[in-house]
């Protein structure tokens, strides 16, 4: 479940979500929210997402974050023009 706050993440985990995606949170806010979710629901997987690029990735890693998603891998990738003839 995609969540934009700790309250939404706690509600989603409480309703049975296996994974909560904390989207577009500043690193400090993200880590606090992830800690709250893990304290209340230790079995829930916490994913960080939104505005994460390779240069800022270390700021989003922490003991309560299980996964990190970064759209820069797809939307910032250069195009390649090629053809295949069989």
Q: 2-73, what's its fold?
A: TIM Barrel (3.20.20)
Whole-angstrom Cα distance, residue 64 to residue 42? 9
DSSP 82: -
Q: What was the pLDDT predicted at 73?
A: 65
Q: Is the pTM of this model over 0.85?
A: no
Question: Where are the chain's structural domains?
Answer: 2-73
User: Do 22 and 42 contact (CB within 8 A), yes or no?
Assistant: no
User: Do 27 and 59 contact (CB within 8 A), yes or no?
Assistant: yes
pLDDT in tens, 36-82: 999 999 999 999 999 898 899 999 999 999 999 987 666 666 778 88
Whole-angstrom Cα distance, residue 17 to residue 13? 5
């Amino acid at each position: 479940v995609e969540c934009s706050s700790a309250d939404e993440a706690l509600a989603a985990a409480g309703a049975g979500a296996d994974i909560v995606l904390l989207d577009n949170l500043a690193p400090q806010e993200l880590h606090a929210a992830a800690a709250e979710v893990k304290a209340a629901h230790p079995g829930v997987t916490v994913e960080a997402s939104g505005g994460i690029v390779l240069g800022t990735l270390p700021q989003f890693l922490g003991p309560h974050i299980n996964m990190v998603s970064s759209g820069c891998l797809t939307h910032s990738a250069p195009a390649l023009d090629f053809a295949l003839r069989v």
